[in-house]
Each structure stands twice: as C-alpha cells, then as structure tokens.
A and B are shown apart, each in its own frame.
Chain A
Amino acid sequence: MSRRSSLAHLLPELVRTLFARRATVRFPSEPPVLAEAYRGRGVVHAELCVGCGLCVRDCPAFALELEREGRHRFRLVHFEDRCAYCGQCVDSCRQDAIALVSEFPRASPCRTAFTRVLVTHEASEE
C-alpha cells in the first residue's frame, strides 16, 4: 500500500462502495438466486424407485423412512425437519431416483407440514 495516512484510511473504500453496484439482493420481492448445484428439497422419480432402502440405511439424520407392506408395496417418507440436506441419499441410490433440487425448503408454523411422502408404490406388477 502506498497510502500512508493513518486517519480516515477507509475513506477511499467508502467512496468506492457508495458508487459500486449494490451488494444487496432484492430477495423477498424477487426470487432468490441459488446455485445450480444447491442441495435443497428432495425429489424422487417415483417410477425409478424400487424401494431398496439404501438411502434410508445411509441417511445420517434418519430423515427418510420406508414403510413397507409387502414386496412391491411401500411408501418412502421424507422428514424435512430432520434432513441435513447432505445429499448422501443421492449418492447411495443405485437407480438415480432421488435428487436434491435447487429450491430451499419453506418454513412452516407446524412440524407436520415437513413430513412428505415422496413415493407411494402400489403393487402394479403383481
């Protein structure tokens, strides 16, 4: 740094900030800007899911539950309030059926709203 003055050292940066493009997002009035890779809500391609339970086994937060009633009848339930959004389920799934999309989970005054049934698989081929 060439400038040696020690009083008001921040002044040039203040002026620069004043005329710079504003750093603040316009979030509530405009939609949020999320990265493409952002790990948000979980979605499942129901037709690909075979109910193997690998995602349930590897989930570190026990946020997925598989309710099984027979070989081809199962429900995959996701608890958003427990989920760590780590993406381990995406990695563990061998069918590429599960994905975390670029949309953050919404707040809710009621915890039951966070329980989402991702897949309801009725016995189709039986």
Chain B
Amino acid sequence: MRDVASAVLTILVFPGFGFLFVCALAFHWIDRRVTARFQGRVGPPWFQPFADFVKLLAKEDVLPVGAHERACALLPMVSLAAVLTAALHIPVGGYVVTSFEGDLIVVLFLLSLPALAYFLAGWLSASVFSVVGGSRALLQYFAYEVPFLMALAGPAILVGSWSVSRISGAQSGGLWTLLVQPIGFVLAFIGLIGKLKRSPFDIPKAKSEIGAGPLTEFSGRKLALWHLSLQVKTVVGIFLLVDVFLGGSGGGISLSGVTLFGVKCLLVLLALSVTGVLYARLRIDQLATMGWRVLAPLALVQLLVVVLVGG
C-alpha cells in the first residue's frame, strides 16, 4: 500500500509531473528573461509563464471549420504525455523513477513523438499556414534527428549500456563524456535546438513567414497544452543532455549532487538562449543541407572514433 502511494507521489510530484511543470515554467521564464537582457530589454516578471498558462486555460477554445476536431484535441495531449513519460527515465539529480536497459531508446522515441504530433496538428487544422508549417516541421525533423540520434549513440557505445542512468553514473568516477566526445556534444546540442524549434531553427513557426506555424489555428486550452509540452520538452531535453554528456549529478543522491545538476542545467539553458539571440533564422533548405552535409557526416566520424578507439 505504501509502495503504491509512494509511486503515485513519485509520478505526480517529484520527479514527476508537478516538478516538471514547475521546472518548465521556471526554465521558460529564465530563457525569456535572459534573452531579453541580451537584447537590452527587461523581460517578463517571474510569474509570467504561469499567468500565460492560466489565461489560455480560461480562454474560449475554437477551431476553424474543416479542422479535425478530435485529432486537434488529442494531439497536444499526446505530445505532453510523451515528454512527461520520457522524463520518468531520465535521472534528475541522480534520482530516477524507472530505469532499465535500453531506456535511452525509449526516451529518444518519446522525445520525437511531439514532432510528429506537431506535424499532424499542422496538417489537420485546416489552415494554409499550419500546413506549410507542418511540412516544414517534418522536413526539419529529418534534418536534425539523425545526427541527434548518432550523437547520443556515442556515449551509449562507450559505456556499453543503453540506459540513461547507467551512462550518467558511469561518468561519476572518470571523465565527462563531453571531454571525450566534444563533437558529439555539439551535435546533440544543435539537434536539441532543432528539436525544440528554437531560434535559429524556429523554421516551422517562423512568425514573419507563416504566422505561428502549425499552431496558427489553436487557441485556449489546446494552445496552453502545446506551449506546456514544448516547455516540458525543453526541460527534459536539457536533463538528457546533462545526464549523457555532462556527468549528471556526479553519482548518488546528495544535496551537492542535486545542486551541481541544477547548475549544469542552467548552463545548458543559458547556452541555448545565447545561441538563440546570436543568429538569424536559417531557411529550411539551408538547414536540410547543413543537417545532411555537415552534421550527419560529423556524427558518423564521431561514432567511428568511438567504435575504433573507445570500443
């Protein structure tokens, strides 16, 4: 009985949904604030993401005629559920809900589900902008996903395990994977930017080109869930990167470990924000070219090095 209660508590509060929700809003705020500071502005107050979320929940929910209503209602939930589930396998400060051999694959799969949901949302919501945005999202998915997968395969091969917590734990004594596989980290970082559709890869939702992309026709609750799923995805993606490449919490569950983990996460977030403000948005064909001509070969080289030298 106590096991069930603690399991429920784990999933709902820490490091489950409640914790992720708070983290997502906090990271989103930090990101906006840092971006604003770099641009010479002040940025939103700390409660801003929460206010936005509540306001959207309380707004009217409309869809245009011709949109697939059930799918449009379901897709944001699928997207959110996928990233929340992925989070259960990723150690946070050394603490993980469930871990098994091969959960890295599951995590990667769950993290790419939102991209498909995003594409379908664009395709099914009966607006030209969202259709264009959706097809761009799909093209972009193919450009970043392969290098991203290969970059994350490197550490797994090195450690000899496909479990996120093992990979994270294996670095506690020795070197961070970042130092062993710098190219892999850079590729995974770039892949993450693509995954999160952040500037300079915010191609599917390019404001000045196609409105809000696939989300153009969404409003109210659905939009709130979409935003939340993207914000949670940011958090989960950063956790994953920290665990796989930056040594996680440094082994074990301790206060210093958790603090260290938090600091590393914030550093990755800062890096994401800085990359976001430094560059102009690329065009989808430029991203595809970059993905296949530069990133994929580099990932291949990194993998070969790992297999030949490390393995």
Answer whether A and B touch in the complex at a CB cut-off of 8 Å.
yes
A8 to B39 CA separation, bound complex (whole angstroms): 15
Q: Which residues of B contact A20 (CB under 8 A)?
A: 40
B255 at the A interface (CB under 8 A): no
- The 17 listed contacts between A and B (C-beta, < 8 Å) are A8-B278, A10-B277, A10-B278, A14-B38, A14-B274, A14-B278, A17-B37, A17-B39, A18-B37, A18-B38, A20-B40, A22-B40, A22-B42, A23-B40, A24-B40, A24-B41, A24-B42
- Residue count of chain A within 8 Å CB distance of chain B: 10
A11 at the B interface (CB under 8 A): yes
- The interface of chain A, by Cβ under 8 A from chain B, is 8, 10-11, 14, 17-18, 20, 22-24
A11 to B39 CA separation, bound complex (whole angstroms): 11
- Residue count of chain B within 8 Å CB distance of chain A: 9
Q: Tell me the residues in window 269-290 of chain B with beta carbons closer than 8 Å to chain A beta carbons.
A: 274, 277-278
Shortest beta-carbon distance from B34 to chain A in Å: 10
Q: Which residues of A contact B37 (CB under 8 A)?
A: 17-18
Shortest beta-carbon distance from A26 to chain B in Å: 9
Q: Tell me the residues in window 33-64 of chain B with beta carbons closer than 8 Å to chain A beta carbons.
A: 37-42
CB atoms of B278 and A11 under 8 A apart: yes
Shortest beta-carbon distance from B274 to chain A in Å: 7
CB atoms of B40 and A17 under 8 A apart: yes
Q: Nearest CB to that of A21 among chain B residues?
A: B40
A51 to B234 CA separation, bound complex (whole angstroms): 68
A18 to B42 CA separation, bound complex (whole angstroms): 11
Q: Which residues of B contact A23 (CB under 8 A)?
A: 40-41
A24 to B41 CA separation, bound complex (whole angstroms): 6
A20 to B40 CA separation, bound complex (whole angstroms): 8
Q: Which residues of A contact B42 (CB under 8 A)?
A: 22, 24
Q: Nearest CB to that of B275 among chain A residues?
A: A8
Shortest beta-carbon distance from A18 to chain B in Å: 6
Shortest beta-carbon distance from B276 to chain A in Å: 11
CB atoms of B277 and A14 under 8 A apart: yes
Shortest beta-carbon distance from A45 to chain B in Å: 41
Q: Nearest CB to that of A16 among chain B residues?
A: B40
Q: Which residues of B contact A17 (CB under 8 A)?
A: 37-40
B239-279 vs A, Cβ < 8 Å mask (1 yes, 0 no): 00000000000000000000000000000000000100110
Shortest beta-carbon distance from A22 to chain B in Å: 7
